[in-house]
Amino acid sequence: MDRIRIVGGNELRGVIPISGAKNAALPLMIASLLTDDTLTLENVPHLADVEQLIRILGNHGADISVNGRRERQGESYARTIHFTSRNIVSTTAPYELVSKMRASFWVIGPLLAREGKARVSLPGGCAIGTRPVDLFIEGLTALGADIEIDGGYVNATAPQGGLIGGRYVFPKVSVGATHVMMMAATLANGTTVIGNAAREPEVADLARCLNAMGAKISGHGTSSITIEGVRSLSGARHRVLPDRIETGTYAMAVAMAGGDVILEDTDASLLETALEAIRRAGAEISATNSGIRVVRNGAGIRPVDIVTDPFPGFPTDLQAQFMGLMTKSSGVSHITETIFENRFMHVQELARLGAKISLSGQTAKIDGVNRLKGAPVMATDLRASVSLVIAGLAAEGETMVSRVYHLDRGFERLEEKLTRCGAHVERVSD
């Protein structure tokens, strides 16, 4: 099993290309089930989760071809993938596939809308909270679906004649449920209004793609999305937006290790709240023609308090990384997690490096230390794994991160990108 070895102490200097967003690519790929034409997606990252979803879509009958697997485009390996779901051969998403990645549950929306039925296993994925599917079920029920849970599967059927436009207000913001309800509503009869919808850039990116396919969606990027149902969707060509989580992660890595790095092919507007927190910690961040420049000289890291919130708030997917940064701050900082109830599993691993962190409910108190010392640590989930890398960049000696398959789910060629900027990071195969 692979591990990541880090020897801390080197500043980062150079250019890091930002990949396409995993959290945008996955729903875009699933949207290909809504049409029998070809949906072409550009800038798709090469990640374990993307490969898993390719297998799941193939199970439903999608024909998939990939360009650019070995093609260098600047410093990145962005791929173009063509999805053609001319014939849906199965409306069942089995447990052995869905259990490996939670987002695969989202196929329930397109399958139900296009085929009038879907049988999808209850999802798996990272163990960072229960994340129930009740919001998905309530949203689809508002469109006329008849849904029951039996034997670990969600069985959904549409009324004769298809789904019916409706109005539903989410009791809490859910990115995944917004994705699913929006996709299902594109082929419903009549108009659908989604209240308290997720405002994340990835939701707006999906809406732009669906509109290019012939959908009639407005209000994306706000908390109220309106979808006028159409009879069918066509193919389209769409470029996946930059990964704001990867952008924030590398910005925090520079703030931690020091140096001067250009984050290329990204957009500061996708994560303004997170960038402002990194500025308050002591880094200089500015926009460039090609992306974002992050600089931190020898000055210390200042403590900053944050609270995770839905967009445009501080992203929960950057919480672990920011905690890693705060471990070497010059004072006391607090991080409050409001999205997931079990997302502090990285605390014990950071403590192995010498971090001083205490928990009280959903708030972590971090007493910054002058020194971190390398140690063997274990990744517990996707974002936690990269927080250990960030801490390891500033730790004395060697840090060895095991269970990096979590890392491979969401970060494309991380060790290569950091090494090109002067870090001592390498993948070790047992």
For 333-388, what is each residue's pLDDT tens digit? Answer: 999 999 877 778 899 999 999 999 999 999 999 999 999 999 999 988 777 789 99
Q: Which of 205, 239, 273 is the last residue of a domain?
A: 239
Q: Do residues 100 and 217 share a domain?
A: yes
Count up the domains in the chain and report the number. 2
Its domain, for residue 77, covers 22-239
Q: Are 295 and 259 in contact (CB under 8 A)?
A: yes
Residues 187 and 201 in one domain: yes
Annotated binding site for UDP-N-acetyl-alpha-D-glucosamine: 102, 131-135, 172-175, 317, 339
- Which of 299, 397, 313 is closest to 353 using CA atoms? 397
Range 176-192 average pLDDT: 98
Asked if 334 and 205 sit in the same domain, the reply is: no
Residue 213 shares a structural domain with residue 132: yes
**pLDDT band per the 50, 70, 90 thresholds, residue 1:** confident
Same domain, yes or no: 214 and 293: no
Boundary of a domain, candidates 221, 239, 257: 239
Residues 73 and 13 occupy one common structural domain: no
The answer to whether residues 203 and 280 belong to one domain is no
Binding residues for phosphoenolpyruvate are 22-23
Task: Based on the fold, state whether residues 203 and 81 are members of the same structural domain.
Answer: yes
Same domain, 391 and 299: yes
Residue 128's pLDDT is 34
State percent of the chain over pLDDT 90: 84
169 and 30 in a common domain: yes
Q: Which residue has the tokens 């500033």?
A: 394
Q: Among 56-70, 126-140, 194-208, 360-374, whose mean pLDDT is lowest?
A: 126-140
Contact 329, 372 (CB under 8 A): no
- What is the reported pLDDT for 125? 44
Q: What is the 3-state secondary structure (H, E, C) of the chain?
A: CEEEEEECCCCEEEEEECCECHHHHHHHHHHHHHCCCEEEEEEECCCHHHHHHHHHHHHCCCEEEEECCCCCECCECCEEEEEECCCCCCCEECHHHHCCCHHHHHHHHHHHHHHCEEEEECCCCCCCCCCCCHHHHHHHHCCCCEEEEECCEEEEECCCCCCECCEEECCCCCHHHHHHHHHHHCCCECEEEEECCCCCHHHHHHHHHHHHCCCEEECECECEEEEECCCCCCCEEEECCECHHHHHHHHHHHHHHCEEEEEECCCHHHCHHHHHHHHHCCCEEEECCCEEEEEECCCCECCCCEEECCCCCECHHHHHHHHHHHCCECCEEEEECCCCCCCCCCHHHHHHCCCEEEEECCEEEEECCCCCECCEEECCCHHHHHHHHHHHHHCECEEEEECCHHHHCCCCCHHHHHHCCCCEEEEEEC
Nearest to 413 by CA among 87, 72, 35: 72
Active site residue ranges: 126
Tokens of 270: 């996708």
Question: Do 213 and 247 sit in the same domain of this protein?
Answer: no
CATH of the domain at 49: 3.65.10.10
Say if residue 83 is in the same domain as residue 120: yes
- Mean pLDDT, range 197-206, rounded to an integer: 98
* pLDDT of residue 240 exceeding 70: yes
pLDDT, average across residues 149-160: 93
d(CA 347, CA 323): 9
Query: Last residue of some domain: 190, 206, 239?
Result: 239
- The pLDDT of residue 71: 42
Mean pLDDT of 121-125: 72
> Tell me, what amino acid is at 92?
T
